[in-house]
Structure 1
Amino acid sequence: MAKIESNLLTDIQLRKWVRGGAAVAKSDGGGLTFTLSAAGAATWVLRYRLGGRRQEVTLGRYPDMTLAAARIAASKRRVAIIDGVNPADEVRKVKARKDWTVRQLINDYRDKVLVTLADSTQRSYGRNLTRIENGMGAMSVQSVGPADVVAEIERHELGWVEAFTLWCVLRGIFKHAAGKKVIVASPCAGIQLEAIIGKRPEVRRRLMLTDAEIGLLMNAKMNTENLLSVRVLLATGVRISELLTARREHVFLDDARWHIPNSKTGQEMDIPLAPSVVDWFRQLDELAGRSGYVLPARLRTRFERLDGDANVSKDALREAIDFWIDNHKPKIRRFTPHDLRSTMKSHMRKLGIARDITEMCLNHKLKGVEGIYDQHTYYDERRHALELWARFIATCQAGEKWNVVPFKQTA
C-alpha cells in the first residue's frame, strides 16, 4: 500500500507563490490543497471522496487562515467524514440559515406574533421588546448564548412581575427564531429564572374593608368625580377597567341599568343599579360634558393623542385613593380599587346573599357543570342583592349600625 504523504507545503513556498502572482494549485497531502487564482485570491480547499463521489469544501482564505490552522481544520473535517458527515452539506446549511440580528428577529416577531395577542399583553410585551432591542438588538441571533440572556435580565432593575414578563418575551422571540430555523435551539433552554431574580414574593392578599372603613371611604375628601367613581366601584363590584372605559350610551338611567359589553376580562352583562347608584351616575353624566365616556380624560394631551375623546387614565383612581390616604390620614388600611370587589363579595356573604348570586354580581363565571348548563342571568336576584348592598353601605356612610335584614332570594 502506497504511503499517504502529508505536510508537503511550507510557509516559505506559500509566500513565494503569492508574490509571484501566477495561478497555482498545490497539495499539502490528505486532500488539503492551496489554490491561488489569477486575480490573487488565495484559499484553502479540502478535496475528498464520499459516497463514491469526489467533492470539495473551502476551509478559508490565506493568509487569514495560516498553513497550521488549515491543517487543523482539514483534520477536523476528515474526522467528520469518517462519521458520515459531509462538510460541504454543513457549509450549505450554514449559508441557507438566515443570519438575522436580534433587531430583525424582534421586528418579525412584532409582525407575526405580537399582533395576535391581547391589547394589554401587546403593551407589556412591547415595552420589553424595546428593552431587548436597546440591549442586544445589534447582536447576531445565532451568536446569542445563555449568558447573554441572563445578562439582559440582570441589567434591568425591575420588579419581580416585570422581570418575569421580560423573561417570557425573551423565551417568546427565541422560540420564534427556532421555529423559523434561524437557530437550532433557543438560548433560553435550561435557564432558571429563580436563580436570577429569586422566588416570587408572596402575592398580596385581598382585603375586606370594615364597616367603619367603608364609612370613611364613602365620605372621603376627594374631588367629586373621584368620590363618585369610588362609590360606583364599591356599590357595583365591577372591575376598574369596566368603569374607566364605560360609555354613556351604555348607561340607561331610566331603566336603572348599566350594560357592560363583552371583553377579555368578562362576558357581557347588564348590571341593575340601586337608586343611590343611579343618582351618582346622573352626577357623573353632568360632569362628562361632551365626552362619550362616563369618566372622560382630564388632560388635554390625552384627548389630542386619542383623536379628540378618551377615557380617564387607568391610574387616576388608584392615585386619587393613595393621595387621600397619604394626605388626609384616614383610619383606613391602604387598599387598591380591586379590593373593593373583595369587600363587596365578603360583605354580601355576611348579609346572607347566596354564593352563586354573589359570584354573578361580580361577573364571575360559575364553575363546573353548573357553569355550563346554567345560563340564567339572575337579573332580579342580582338587583335585589345589589339594592340590599347599597342600603348597607348607606348605613356605613351615615355612621349608623346595620339592622340585619335576611336576604330573601326571589322566586
Structure 2
Amino acid sequence: MLTTIQINALKPMEKAYKVADGKGLYLLVSPSGSLLWRVKFRFHGIEKKMALGRYPDLSLKEARLKRDEAREQLAEGIDPLAVRLQAKIEAELAARTTFRIVADEFIEKMEREGKAPPTLKKTRWLRDLLDPAIGHRPVAEVTAHELLKALQKLERKGHHESALRVRSFAGRIFRYAVATLRAQHNPADILRGALITPKVKHHAAILEPAKVGELLRAIDGYGGKVETRVALQLIPHVYLRPGELRKAEWPEIDFDAAVWRVPAERMKMRQMHTVPLSTQALALLKYLRSLENPGTFLFPANKTWLKPICENTLNVGLRRLGFTSDEMTSHGFRAMASTLLNESGLWHPDAIERSLAHRERDQVRGAYHRGAHWDERVRMAQWWSDYLVKLRDGAEVLRPKFGT
C-alpha cells in the first residue's frame, strides 16, 4: 500500500513505470514527472485499464474511493469503463445541445413549415431575451428555478406581457426537446401561474356613431401625405388589420370583380382573405392608382417606393388629427366595424366574423360559412360604406333599441 510520503518521493525515469497501491490501483510515473492514477481490472475475462486522474489533483484517498466504486460496479456485472465512456458521450452531447442550439433548430423548423417572416422575427426576439440566462445551458439541465429567475428579471423591468410570452416560447422549445429525445421534462409547464398577468389592454376605438362621424370628417381634412390620407380614409371601409392594409400591393386588387384578395402570408390566420369592395372603397383605390406611384405597393414609404409605409404611420396620422392613443388606434377601426355592424341587427354574426377574417375553429363549418355568407358580405360592405358616409356627412342616425 502506498503512502503520501512514498508518492511524493517518486522520481521520473527514462521510461514510464508503474507503482502499485493495491486491488488494481497503481500510479503511472511518466518521464515528464506526471503521476497518473490508473486502475486495472478484468471484465468477462478481458483485462482493461481506466484512468482516474492526476496526482496530486486526485489524492491517494480519492483514488482509492474511485477504485472501490469501480470494483462495486464490477461486482454488479457492470463495466466501469463503459459507464465512464457513456457519461463522457452524454456530457459531450449535452454540451452540443444547449437551449440556444435547440431554439435555433426549432425556429428553422418553423421557417421550413412556412411561418411568416414577422412571426419568425418575433420568435427570434423571444429567444434573444432568454439567451443571456440559459442560452448556454444544456437544454436537459435547465431547471424551473433558472427559467423563473430569467422571467422575473423581465417582470422587475415592468415587462409583464413579454415575460408571459417568453415563458410560452420556452415551453415550446422544451416540448420540442422532449419530442426529439434531448430532454425529459418541460420546466416551463411548472411555472404556469407563477408570473404576473397584466390587465388586458384593448385597442382604443371610437364606437359612438356621432364621434365616428367626427373622426371621418377629420380624416378627410388630413393635410399630410396623400397616400396616408387615403389609407386612413380606406381602412374604415375595409377594416383590415393595419399590417394587412399597409403592405397591400396592386395585384391583390381586382377592380372588375370589386374584390381585394389579401394573400395568406400576410393574414394573421394564414388563410387568404377576400374583401368585397364597396363603390366608396373602389373610388378611393382608383384615386390612389391615378397617382401613378412606381412599384407595386399601394402605400409606398416616404423615401423609397420599394417598401410600404411603416407600422406607425397610420397611428401617427391619427395623433396629428388630435386623437390620442387612448381614443383611437389604426387597429380600432376593426372594433368600430364589429361593434356597429353587430348593433345594427341587420347582419348574421357569422358574416361579420368572416368579414373580420376571424378563423372558424371547425374547418368543415368554416368552409361552409365562407361560401354561405359571401353574398351577404357583399351587401353588408356596401351598407357599411353608405352608413359611414351618412355619419361623415352628419346625417341623423337612428340606432335600434333592443329589448332585454
Aligned match of 2:268 = 265
Aligned match of 1:113 = 109
Does the 8 Å contact 1:212/1:396 carry over to 2? yes
Aligned match of 1:389 = 384
Q: Which secondary structure state, in structure 2, belongs to the residue aligned with residue 401 of structure 1?
A: coil
Distance 1:395 1:71 in 2: 94
Deviation at 1:125, TM superposition (A): 1.6
Aligned match of 1:237 = 239
TM-score, with structure 1 as normaliser = 0.78
Runs of 5+ unmatched residues, structure 1: 1-7, 406-411
Distance 1:84 1:315 in 2: 70
Q: Which shows bigger deviation, 62-71 or 220-229?
A: 220-229
> Per-residue CA shift, 1:165-213, capped at 9, x if unaligned?
33344445555566666x6546836651543xx2322323466611122
Aligned match of 1:199 = 196
Distance 2:217 2:75 in 1: 85
Return the match for 1:149 from 147, 152, 161. 147
Does the 8 Å contact 1:105/1:173 carry over to 2? no
Deviation at 1:214, TM superposition (A): 1.0
RMSD between superposed Cα atoms in Å: 3.5
Residues 1:71 and 2:75 are matched in the alignment: no
> Per-residue CA shift, 1:251-302, capped at 9, x if unaligned?
234543322223353433432222222222233334561131111122x3xx
Aligned match of 1:3 = none
Residues 1:360 and 2:354 are matched in the alignment: yes
Distance 1:333 1:140 in 2: 45
Deviation at 1:249, TM superposition (A): 2.4
Residues 1:92 and 2:93 are matched in the alignment: no
Which letter maps to 1:358? Answer: I
Instruction: Evaluate the alpha carbon distance shift between residue 373 and residue 142 of structure 1 in structure 2; reply closer, same or farther with a 3 A threshold.
Output: closer
Instruction: Evaluate the alpha carbon distance shift between residue 249 and residue 213 of structure 1 in structure 2; reply closer, same or farther with a 3 A threshold.
Output: same
Which letter maps to 1:386? Answer: A
Distance 1:170 1:366 in 2: 28
Does the 8 Å contact 1:46/1:58 carry over to 2? yes
Q: Which secondary structure state, in structure 2, belongs to the residue aligned with residue 284 of structure 1?
A: helix
Give aligned-pair identity as a percent.
Answer: 21
Deviation at 1:88, TM superposition (A): 1.4
Which letter maps to 2:263? Answer: P
Q: How does 1:14-29 map to 2 (within 5 A)?
A: 14-19=7-12, 23-29=16-22
Which letter maps to 2:395? Answer: E
Q: Which shows bigger deviation, 10-19 or 112-121?
A: 112-121
Residues 1:289 and 2:293 are matched in the alignment: yes
Does the 8 Å contact 1:246/1:293 carry over to 2? yes
Distance 2:118 2:189 in 1: 28
Instruction: Evaluate the alpha carbon distance shift between residue 275 and residue 324 of structure 1 in structure 2; reply closer, same or farther with a 3 A threshold.
Output: same
Q: Which shows bigger deviation, 384-393 or 372-381?
A: 372-381
Aligned match of 1:249 = 251
Q: Which shows bigger deviation, 82-91 or 391-400?
A: 82-91
Distance 1:273 1:371 in 2: 22
Which letter maps to 2:105? Answer: Y
Distance 1:21 1:143 in 2: 46
TM-score, with structure 2 as normaliser = 0.79
Q: How does 1:145-184 map to 2 (within 5 A)?
A: 145-156=143-154, 157=157, 159-173=159-173
Does the 8 Å contact 1:102/1:140 carry over to 2? yes
Instruction: Evaluate the alpha carbon distance shift between residue 144 and residue 76 of structure 1 in structure 2; reply closer, same or farther with a 3 A threshold.
Output: farther
Instruction: Evaluate the alpha carbon distance shift between residue 392 and residue 109 of structure 1 in structure 2; reply closer, same or farther with a 3 A threshold.
Output: same
Does the 8 Å contact 1:21/1:40 carry over to 2? no
Between the two proteins, the alignment pairs up a number of residues equal to 384
Instruction: Evaluate the alpha carbon distance shift between residue 158 and residue 100 of structure 1 in structure 2; reply closer, same or farther with a 3 A threshold.
Output: farther
